[in-house]
Chain A
Amino acid sequence: MNASHHLIIIALLFAAVQSGTILLFPTIGEIFTERSGVMNLGVEGMMIMGAFFGFVVAYETKNPYLGFLAGMLAGGLTSLIHAFVSITLRGNQVVSGLALTIFGLGFTNFYGQKWINLKLTTTPSQISIPLLSKIPYIGPIFFKQDALVYTSYIFAIVMWFILYKTKVGVHLRAVGQNARASDAMGVNVYATRYWWTFFGGLLAGAGGAYLTIAYAPFWLDGMTAGRGWIALALVIFAMWDPLNAMIGAYLFGGIDALQLQLQAIGVTIPSSLLNMLPYLLTLIVIIVATLIVRVKHISAPKELGTPYNREEK
């Protein structure tokens, strides 16, 4: 391989990390929501809300970071609808999650018309991390990214630490495995579930906001294009572990970057087939992951999708 090939591969993997970041935030968020026993299938809806509000605030204030925070908040607030319906009112979580997706797509379509095709002028700038960015291959791929990508690394590592090494993590996992026993131990099941559902919403919003603020800084109707569902599949692929989520997210980011690259250089494969690739591979991966999860006897949090009722014995 000559030098230009190296450059192409590095550029491709660089793009893979960026595209993967859109998935990494929501995947980590949903891992924690599910760990607490709540299944929120509305990731797509929360992402599109984050994408829309993130874009609008970034456009109006010309500050991408403010936009990112607004996107997170939008995702978080949206998730509270699901939290109220499924935790307090103990409604069906599958239907509530779907309703959340319909709501997000409808809301952004209804209010988003006048923003369509507008472009952001200021996007997050790239920052080279001293020393780390000098590492061959790794440096230019992972450490010449923007601040939001670095935020996602921190989230993955810190959240892994919280999950496995802190009391908060122990309580969270206990609530997801056996809510009644945790309640008896003095853990507030409702508060735990509310908070982690909200957290999942914040991160889904972050993923959506990253899409419209950094990755593709414009607004299009429905532009999350099913990434919320891919993130849900990645939760299973990651076996509910935030560090595994990184592997999954970059793998899919890579496929996305690759299909865009192939289209850009004009290969003869029709674009509709290339566009299909991430969804097809997600399907294959979720089948394989489900089989591995079964063989290894790893299971989803036992209380996943089961509402908790303190008064019922």
Chain B
Amino acid sequence: MVRFEKRENTPVSLKFIIPLVSVLIGLLIGAVAIAVKGINPFKVYHALLIGAFSSKYTFSETLVAATPLILISAGLILVFKMNFWNIGAYGQYIMGAIFSSYFALFWSPNVPKPVMLTIMVLAGMVGGALWAIIPAMLKAFWEVNEVISTLLLNYIALFILKFLMYGTWRDPSSHGFPLSKPFPDNAQLPRIIYHTRVNLGLIFGIIAVIVVWFILKKTKFGYEIAVIGENPRAARYAGMDVAKNIIIAMAISGALAGLAGMVQVSGIIHLLQIKINPDYGYTAIIVAWLSYLDPIAAAFVSVFLGGLASGASQIQITMRVPFGIVNVIESVILFALIGSEIFMKYRVKFDFGKRKKINKQEDIL
């Protein structure tokens, strides 16, 4: 018989073993999915590894994909800690990209570069924060389900972007393609590694991780977040303003997602278009969970999932393996991870043998 026995305390090693095993299960089921399609999974994984980590350039592309994940997941950790389900990083990222692009497109290219970039960073953060405050206030004051509201706001943000790109923000010389005119030099984030697309955004990400770590470990606000997440009722009794905390945490989370959107347009694409990869907003949710809501672990997990995404976008072209395989692998990792949480709280006991022994003793008696 299989029985679950409550653990007194969770061994720390499980916090490493479970995510690792989850990743292995994800890759294993991914391999089966690839094999079913008649493709050799070993070749695919080999190409994926080469495409993500083999050379200076491919690794730099992994870092490029990891940057938005680092920024967004750092913010998500804050709100997830208080059990607020921000699924809206996708939309907040888009709003950040739109707000910052406004200055790049409509302000003079003669504004000094540091001034312009500072304004764009702030604009991106404000755009993301505003888009995040809407569901935060709806939840805090009216208890509107934030999963649904943040998701709907993602679609609304996407259509606002489409509206602009097919409308007044489209470059007249783009031959009808939904692209803005290219950003002038003063609106482009400087690159920090020569001959790669790695830019200042990576530094922003590292700063964000440190700030979030500091908030969680060293501030009253971080303490309140933890208490609200553990037991909102106790937090209210203790006199904590839950509504205020939700709104502030969501503003920070949205601001970081918005900054990620700004980094993408200003540091990578150098223009605004419909395809700015807001899906990072969903991938960052997986990053946050795989790292057990630890901002420093999340930075490393971001590099791993960034590599998976960057490698996969290459094999999509070279081996014609659709990108969806990454989502299949990611979702299986998530299932395995949250399904295994039970092992952190309980010990599995196989006590079939014991019973038999007891029965034998009874026979003797």
- Taking beta carbons and an 8 Å cutoff, which residues of B are in contact with A? 4, 6, 33, 37, 85, 87, 138, 142-145, 147-149, 151-153, 155-156, 159-160, 162-163, 166-167, 282, 285-286, 289, 322-328, 330-332, 334-335, 338-342
Contact = CB atoms under 8 A, between A and B. Distances in A.
A95 B338 contact: yes
Interface in A238-286: 270-273, 275-276, 279-280, 282-283, 286
Contacts of B341: 89-92
A275 B323 CA distance: 26
B325 A287 contact: no
A276 B163 CA distance: 10
B339 A106 contact: no
A190 interface: no
21 contacts: A85-B338, A85-B339, A89-B341, A91-B339, A91-B342, A92-B341, A94-B85, A98-B282, A99-B331, A103-B332, A107-B327, A107-B328, A110-B324, A229-B155, A272-B159, A272-B163, A276-B159, A283-B153, A287-B138, A290-B142, A312-B6
B144 A287 contact: yes
A286 B144 contact: yes
A86 B325 CA distance: 24
A275 B145 contact: no
Given A270-B166, A276-B156, A81 B335 contact: yes
Interface string A67-106: 0000000000000010011000111101110111011011
B335 A282 contact: no
A84 B144 CA distance: 28
Interface string A14-33: 00000000000000000000
Given A94-B85, A276-B163, A311-B4, 16 more contacts: A98-B282, A98-B285, A105-B324, A106-B325, A108-B324, A110-B325, A230-B152, A236-B145, A270-B167, A272-B160, A275-B162, A276-B160, A280-B152, A280-B156, A282-B148, A294-B142
Contact of A272 (B162, B282, B286, B323): B162
B335 A96 contact: yes
A188 interface: no
Interface residues of A, number: 48
Nearest to A280: B156
Contact of A111 (B37, B143, B156): B37
Interface of A: 41, 81, 84-85, 89-92, 94-96, 98-100, 102-103, 105-113, 226, 229-230, 232-233, 236, 270-273, 275-276, 279-280, 282-283, 286-287, 290-291, 294, 311-312
Nearest to B83: A94
Nearest to A94: B85
B345 to A, nearest CB: 9
A92 B338 contact: yes
Contact of B151 (A84, A89, A90, A226): A226
Contacts of B285: 95, 98
Nearest to B139: A290
Given A99-B334, A110-B328, A276-B156, A290 B85 contact: no
List of 7 A-B pairs having minimum Cβ-Cβ separation, nearest first: A106-B327, A109-B324, A103-B331, A110-B324, A276-B159, A91-B338, A99-B334
A107 B324 contact: yes
B159 A110 contact: no
Contacts of A287: 138, 142, 144, 149
Contacts of B332: 103
B152 A233 contact: yes
